[in-house]
């Protein structure tokens, strides 16, 4: 074990890897801060740059992007009154009033300290829990893997919010898309309709670029790249001693809730932040200050937000099942750079896993430094007009989909999926289930096939294996949890209304 750590640390500390992590982190903070560019989009747009790297380096760069973007969201929440990423929505509640009081610098600095703490604490849980979970998952038989895929698909319920039916339809479409091309059972082609390019199936990246990047560009185009004006200027940055003391408890509360929510597949940042905020408000002695600019409010939310990242990486790395929307994209990104998450990853490439672990902690420290600099330079970043930014994103999207196998056909696929994603978004069909379907479809089909061959076509085998049964029960619970939180979404998700009230 110590050997793995030493080896991992050596890899992560190589100058080129340090530089890549730094680029990832800086890019992540910028992407997170810019409204209209989400963490998922940042990860996808970074992918073309990572094809040419060794998978270890690529993974470290992606981790920097992931962590950085989670903090970056708070910058626009405070300065613009618009969350840069969905999970920074709760940061608005206290971050925006703090900005109005001329304490925008303090709000972002608090967010930075809290994000750093959340990243470090959840990283500790990640390095302890993921290997244990992975070694347990090594015992999985094909039917258990099938149940795991079903469990992974059950997170559709929670990522769909109040549009559950449309989420399921989107997931089923994803499952169908995963069946196009040469199938693994007899080696024959399915649903290609004589189009030779379809026999290789749909590449994941053009689909990801389509539904996350191109769709976003089209949505922005509708608004004609409407700009949000900077509302607040940075003045005081550092916290007083009292303020420092006051954010310790919120950070702990945020970390615990963020990690637990993160580890459970199907929950994610938005739920964790609002839950942590409510819990802290209920236990705080200064309830009346919340919503009016309490640094505690910013601390708890931002810590929970970044604690989710480490937590959500546990099932992603150990089981190959994403913890939330962004890790679903991370999972896709890992597969593309040649890293297949799952229990075997820990056995086959421990150097990769441990360099990722070591890099995770280095990234948090980088984020602390870069985040501090970005606090001072943020207003300039936010002034990049969308009218220029979106065309740049389009060119990156085109290059990204082309570069995976140097095919213009893939660019066309990305554009078509962009249009499909736009149509879906307009009619409230969430896009994440589509991606989950594409990723988890082959895992479900191939393992069910293997299990049926082994058991002589006995479908009850999925209830006979204790692991499979447990996973199926967890899937049902996850769906119920998703339905309940979807119903509550209307109550907590009204950021727009809240903003209007503030005005």
Residues in contact with other proteins by CB under 8 A are 48-49, 51-52, 165-166, 168-169, 172-173, 175-176, 179, 183, 185-186, 188, 190-191, 217-218, 220-222, 224-225, 385-388, 390-392, 394-396, 398-399, 402-403, 406-409, 411-412, 415, 418-419, 422, 426-427, 441, 444-445, 448-450, 452-453, 456-457
Shortest spacing between CB 164 and other proteins, in angstroms: 10
Shortest spacing between CB 450 and other proteins, in angstroms: 7
14 vs 189, beta carbon nearer other proteins:
189
Shortest spacing between CB 92 and other proteins, in angstroms: 24
Exposed / middle / buried, residue 177 (Cβ in 10 Å: 0-12, 13-18, 19+): buried
341 vs 433, beta carbon nearer other proteins:
433
134 vs 393, beta carbon nearer other proteins:
393
Strands 181-182 and 189-190: antiparallel
36 vs 64, beta carbon nearer other proteins:
36
- 55-79 and 295-319 helices, crossing angle to 10°: 160
241 vs 427, beta carbon nearer other proteins:
427
Beta strand extents in 28-101 (DSSP E only): none
Residue 293 φ then ψ, to 5°: 110, 50
Do 157 and 164 contact (CB within 8 A), yes or no? yes
Residue 181 φ then ψ, to 5°: 110, -160
How is residue 447 written in tokens? Answer: 């393992």
Shortest spacing between CB 315 and other proteins, in angstroms: 24
Q: Compute and round to an integer the Cα radius of gyration of the chain.
A: 22
Closest C-alpha among 442, 426, 397 to residue 43: 397
Shortest spacing between CB 186 and other proteins, in angstroms: 6
Shortest spacing between CB 456 and other proteins, in angstroms: 7
250 vs 441, beta carbon nearer other proteins:
441
187 vs 466, beta carbon nearer other proteins:
187
How is residue 136 written in tokens? Answer: 């347990």
Do 57 and 17 contact (CB within 8 A), yes or no? yes
Mention every residue, 6+ apart, whose C-beta is less than 8 A from residue 194. none
5 vs 402, beta carbon nearer other proteins:
402
Shortest spacing between CB 224 and other proteins, in angstroms: 5
Do 276 and 300 contact (CB within 8 A), yes or no? yes
Do 276 and 306 contact (CB within 8 A), yes or no? no
Closest C-alpha among 18, 100, 1 to residue 57: 18
Shortest spacing between CB 51 and other proteins, in angstroms: 7
Q: Sign of torsion, CA 141 143 146 151?
A: negative
255 vs 414, beta carbon nearer other proteins:
414
Shortest spacing between CB 206 and other proteins, in angstroms: 12
């Amino acid at each position: 074990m110590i050997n793995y750590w030493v080896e991992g640390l050596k890899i992560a500390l190589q100058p080129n890897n340090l530089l890549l992590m730094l680029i990832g982190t800086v890019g992540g903070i910028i992407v997170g801060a810019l409204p209209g560019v989400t963490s998922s989009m940042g990860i996808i747009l970074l992918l073309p740059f990572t094809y040419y790297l060794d998978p270890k380096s690529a993974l470290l760069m992606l981790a920097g992007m992931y962590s950085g973007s989670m903090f970056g969201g708070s910058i626009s929440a405070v300065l613009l009154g618009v969350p840069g990423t969905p999970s920074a929505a709760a940061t608005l509640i206290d971050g925006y009033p703090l900005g109005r009081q001329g304490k925008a610098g303090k709000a972002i600095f608090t967010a930075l300290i809290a994000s750093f703490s959340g990243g470090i604490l959840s990283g500790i849980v990640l390095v302890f829990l993921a290997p244990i979970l992975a070694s347990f998952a090594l015992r999985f038989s094909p039917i258990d893997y099938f149940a795991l895929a079903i469990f992974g698909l059950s997170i559709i319920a929670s990522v769909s919010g109040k549009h559950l039916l449309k989420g399921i339809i989107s997931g089923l479409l994803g499952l169908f898309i995963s069946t196009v091309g040469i199938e693994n059972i007899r080696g024959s082609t399915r649903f290609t309709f004589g189009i030779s390019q379809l026999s290789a199936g749909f590449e994941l990246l053009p689909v990801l670029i389509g539904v996350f990047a191109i769709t976003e560009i089209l949505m922005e185009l509708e608004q004609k790249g409407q700009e949000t004006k900077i509302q607040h200027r940075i003045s005081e940055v550092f916290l007083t001693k009292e303020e420092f003391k006051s954010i310790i408890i919120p950070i702990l509360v945020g970390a615990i809730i963020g990690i637990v929510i993160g580890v459970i597949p199907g929950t994610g940042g938005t739920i964790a932040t609002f839950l942590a905020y409510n819990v802290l408000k209920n236990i705080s002695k200064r309830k009346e200050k919340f919503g009016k600019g309490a640094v505690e409010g910013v601390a708890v939310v931002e810590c929970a937000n970044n604690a989710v990242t480490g937590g959500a990486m546990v099932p992603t790395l150990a089981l190959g099942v994403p913890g939330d929307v962004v890790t679903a994209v991370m999972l896709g990104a890992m597969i593309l750079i040649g890293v297949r998450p799952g229990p075997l990853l820990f056995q086959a490439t421990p150097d990769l896993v441990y360099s990722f672990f070591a890099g995770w902690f280095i990234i948090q420290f980088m984020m602390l430094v870069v985040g501090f600099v970005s606090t001072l330079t943020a207003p300039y970043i936010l002034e990049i007009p969308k009218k220029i930014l979106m065309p740049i994103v389009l060119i990156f999207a085109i290059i990204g989909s082309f570069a995976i196998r140097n095919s213009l056909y893939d660019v066309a696929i990305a554009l078509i999926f962009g249009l499909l994603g736009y149509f879906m978004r307009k009619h409230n069909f969430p896009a994440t289930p589509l991606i989950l379907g594409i990723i988890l479809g082959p895992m479900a089909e191939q393992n069910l096939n293997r299990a049926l061959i082994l058991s002589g076509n006995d479908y009850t085998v999925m209830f006979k294996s204790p692991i499979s049964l447990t996973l199926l029960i967890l899937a049902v619970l996850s769906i119920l949890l998703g339905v309940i939180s979807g119903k509550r979404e209307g109550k907590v998700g009204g950021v727009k209304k809240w903003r209007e009230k503030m005005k």
